[in-house]
Amino acid sequence: MGLDCAMNDPLPQKMASYYQRKGCMKTKEPKFNSLLDVARFFPTEDACRKFFEKQRWGDTVVCPKCSCFRKIYRINDGKLFRCADCGKTFTVKVGTIFEDSPIPLQTWFMAIHLITAHKKGISSCQLARDLNITQKTAWFMLHRIRHIMKTKSFNKPLNGIVEVDETFIGGKEKNKHRSKRLHAGTGGVNKAAVIGMLDRDDAIVVTSPVKRVNAKTLQGMIKSHVHADSTIMSDEWVGYKGLDKHFFGHETVDHAKYEYVRGNVHTNTLDGFWSLLKRGIVGIYHQVSPEHLHRYCGEFEYRYNSRKVKDIDRFTSTLNRCEGRLTYKKLIN
């Protein structure tokens, strides 16, 4: 299973092939490696709007209200559209994370480039300074972008050798648990538990915060994302006992006895991802709220799964995933 199988919309390997599939080969291909290049490629709001129209619809505009594409009229110098079937007027932003946002698309595109290109992300305070907006606006923008970065679905489950492990986010170093058994099902003191599953062959990772680290919760998540023909690699935590009954194989290492590698039996690849996630949270975000943790996990998961893709392709792929609106009321509730 490759990266194409792991994401709801495959990351384009070549921009030319992407435009060919979209039927818009005449569109100027974006080429930028820095924020300055982004500003040069999108010099006006009109350039951003036209580029986004091509990315979202190609050559056929689709009404976001009734999904009709039979007859769509352009009005107001092409900035608005009117559907002949439902009579609704809409813009290219309707039905996306940009809907009802007073922030120009130029600013949005720069924000998307920054959060996808920076390997550890970017804080709302830093983004506010870079784009000359308020910290509250930057915070809302980042969460909207994380909303579309999260891997939404899988065409195929993880397969082959799959490493499985859980970690705990939050709390001070002195409060970290000595043994998972001391805080079974709680995630330790002031901590939130996150389970991770990593396809070792393709290095595709899936993460999800969980309320408990018991067998019912952990194994339920594993069964939802891992193919039954897979071989599971995990530690000796009691929550993984019995996985051999549901999968082709189940191998473990005993961390309590300082055993971390035995041949090809280990969870070191997934541990590497955990280090990226934790260093990003500690160094960039400092702390995250449990109610927003799933979005931060999705952000790091997305960048890890697309780490072999160029920044420009990751930017384009992220823009293609912008369907779906996240309101401020829903975010804070």
User: How confident is the prediction for the chain on average, in pLDDT?
Assistant: 85
Kindly tell me if the per-residue pLDDT of 21 is higher than 80. Answer: no
Higher pLDDT, 19 or 194: 194
> Residue 2 has what pLDDT?
39
Alpha carbon separation from 259 to 31, 233, 237, 252, 316 (Å, rounded): 47, 13, 13, 10, 43
Opening angle at CA 301, ends 311 and 202, nearest 5: 85
Residue type, 248: F
Inter-residue contact 231 to 248 (CB < 8 Å): yes
Among the ranges given (38-42, 161-165, 167-171, 294-298), the one the predictor scored with the smallest mean pLDDT: 167-171
> Residue 319 has what pLDDT?
92
Q: In this structure, are strands 192-199 and 161-169 parallel, antiparallel, or unpaired?
A: antiparallel
Inter-residue contact 31 to 51 (CB < 8 Å): no
Structure tokens, 38:
């982004």
Q: What is the pLDDT of residues 286-301, one digit of tens each?
A: 889 999 999 999 999 9
Kindly tell me if the per-residue pLDDT of 174 is higher than 90. Answer: no
Nearest Cα to 191, choosing from 207, 176, 208? 176
152: confidence class by pLDDT, cuts 50, 70, 90? low
Kindly tell me if the per-residue pLDDT of 214 is higher than 90. Answer: yes
Q: Residue 303 CA to chain centroid, in angstroms?
A: 7
Question: Where in 69-172 does DSSP place strands (E)?
Answer: 72-75, 80-83, 89-90, 161-169
Structure tokens, 206:
């899936």
177: confidence class by pLDDT, cuts 50, 70, 90? low
Opening angle at CA 306, ends 305 and 309, nearest 5: 155
Q: What is the pTM of this model?
A: 0.82
Nearest-angstrom CA–CA distance, 246 and 230: 9
Q: Which domains does the chain have, with CATH numbers?
A: 3-149+308-332 (no CATH), 161-288 (3.30.420.10)
